[in-house]
Amino acid sequence: SQKIEQNSEALNIQEGKTATLTCNYTNYSPAYLQWYRQDPGRGPVFLLLIRENEKEKRKERLKVTFDTTLKQSLFHITASQPADSATYLCAFRGADTGRRALTFGSGTRLQVQP
């Protein structure tokens, strides 16, 4: 069955370090994947999108990689700040035409210590 896995354990890092979050998938052929940030009690907020034919995407302190051979995406936050503390969700839309829905992982909670 199709599966998206994110590390369910919280990631704790020191301010200024690079945070790296992992998203693995099985039995998928994603057309693209997206990363969202979610704060407690709020809806997810879109951060970055990367397509299947792209290896890497950057936006300010954020970087996403997409390895279709490993079936993995990595999400990096450089020079992390306490304000980056949140849950980060990866989401896929499959390559099947007509399906618009996103399938989300369960998210990884990031805690940046000052």
Partner 1 sequence: DTGVSQDPRHKITKRGQNVTFRCDPISEHNRLYWYRQTLGQGPEFLTYFQNEAQLEKSRLLSDRFSAERPKGSFSTLEIQRTEQGDSAMYLCASSSDKNTEAFFGQGTRLTVV
Three-state DSSP state, 21: strand
- Least separation, in Å, of the C-beta of 15 and partner 1? 26
- Least separation, in Å, of the C-beta of 44 and partner 1? 5
For partner 1, the closer of residues 8 and 18 by Cβ is: 8
- How many angstroms separate the CA atoms of 57 and 64, rounded? 5
- Least separation, in Å, of the C-beta of 101 and partner 1? 4
For partner 1, the closer of residues 36 and 66 by Cβ is: 36
What residues make contact with partner 1 under the rule CB under 8 A? 4, 6, 8, 32, 34, 36, 41-46, 49, 89, 91, 93, 98-107
- Least separation, in Å, of the C-beta of 29 and partner 1? 16
DSSP string, 54-84: -SEEEETTEEEEEETTTTEEEEEESS--GGG
Backbone angles phi and psi of 38, in degrees to 5: -135, 125
By C-alpha distance, which of 111, 107, 65 is closest to 88? 107
For partner 1, the closer of residues 18 and 106 by Cβ is: 106
